[in-house]
Amino acid sequence: MVGRPRRLTELFIGTSGWSYNEWAGVFYPSSSTNKLSFYSKVYNTAEVDATFYAFPSKGLVLGWTRYTPDNFVFSLKLPRLLTHEKRLELSKGVEADLVKFLSLLKPLMIGGKLGPVLIQLPPSYSFQTDFEKLKGFLDMAPEDVKFAVEFRHPSWLREEVWSLLRAKNVANVIVDEPLLPPDTVVLQNWVPKVKEVAARAKVTYGYFNNHFKGFAVENSLRMMEILGTASARQQETKARATRFLDKGVRDEGESSILEFVEKGPSK
């Protein structure tokens, strides 16, 4: 079972999602493997992308809670209803939507398994036109829930925004994203960046979403190896994934798409 790392403060590295049939062989023993149960024996965190498209059912959230180890943490995306359709405008009933969403996540909260709730803003959401909407949303959001904001427009990269996030104890998401100032996709070059983030944060979460053919599995476990946090099981799983990918699917394309969430300054 994966334990929480004791170096680099609290560091959680996983993938964006786990329910991919194409991971059979590279990660899962077969297509019939119970995916979440198997995944959570190798990783201690996962990002849930599905909540961006729809509110989860109560039964689904209960399943996430029951079938993962005690030290497992989920990061979930805020539904696009709030961020993209209503653009965080309180006058459009966003507060009620947030209450509904968080009420569905109560089993994760009670079990200590809820990591950051990711507020992924649309590329058209800019500082000049939408700062007050974001501020109003963060003013309304409950303080006992961890939030992280992913900015997808360069106008947000300014001190006024960082001051708001610090004041609200909201995390920033660092993304390898072509619309923003360039960040290398080479894993080795990400290492000092991860160490820098982890050195100034209490908790750091990192997720690979290049799930095609299972590259996210190999890349995330390779990152743990480079950082020196990989367990024996994780090293074995990474070696198996590498052998599988080297059999012929690697030349179909690989890219390391990575996002890291830093939560709060270290003390």
What is the percentage of the chain residues whose pLDDT exceeds 90?
A: 72
* Residue at 151 is within a domain: yes
Using the predicted structure, report yes or no on whether residue 33 has a pLDDT greater than 50: yes
The domain that holds 118 is classified in CATH as 3.20.20.410
* Residue at 218 is within a domain: yes
* Residue at 5 is within a domain: no
Using the predicted structure, report yes or no on whether residue 1 has a pLDDT greater than 50: no
Query: Per-residue pLDDT tens for 64-99?
Result: 999 999 999 999 999 999 999 999 999 999 999 999
Dihedral sign computed on CA atoms, order 176, 181, 185, 189: negative
Number of domains in the chain: 1
pLDDT at 244: 92
* Residue at 223 is within a domain: yes
* Residue at 145 is within a domain: yes
* Residue at 248 is within a domain: yes
* Residue at 3 is within a domain: no
* Residue at 1 is within a domain: no
Domain that holds residue 194: 10-265
Rounded Cα distance, 102 and 109, in Å: 9
Instruction: Identify the CA nearest to 140 among candidates 60, 180, 82, 183.
Output: 82
Query: Per-residue pLDDT tens for 237-254?
Result: 999 999 999 886 555 544
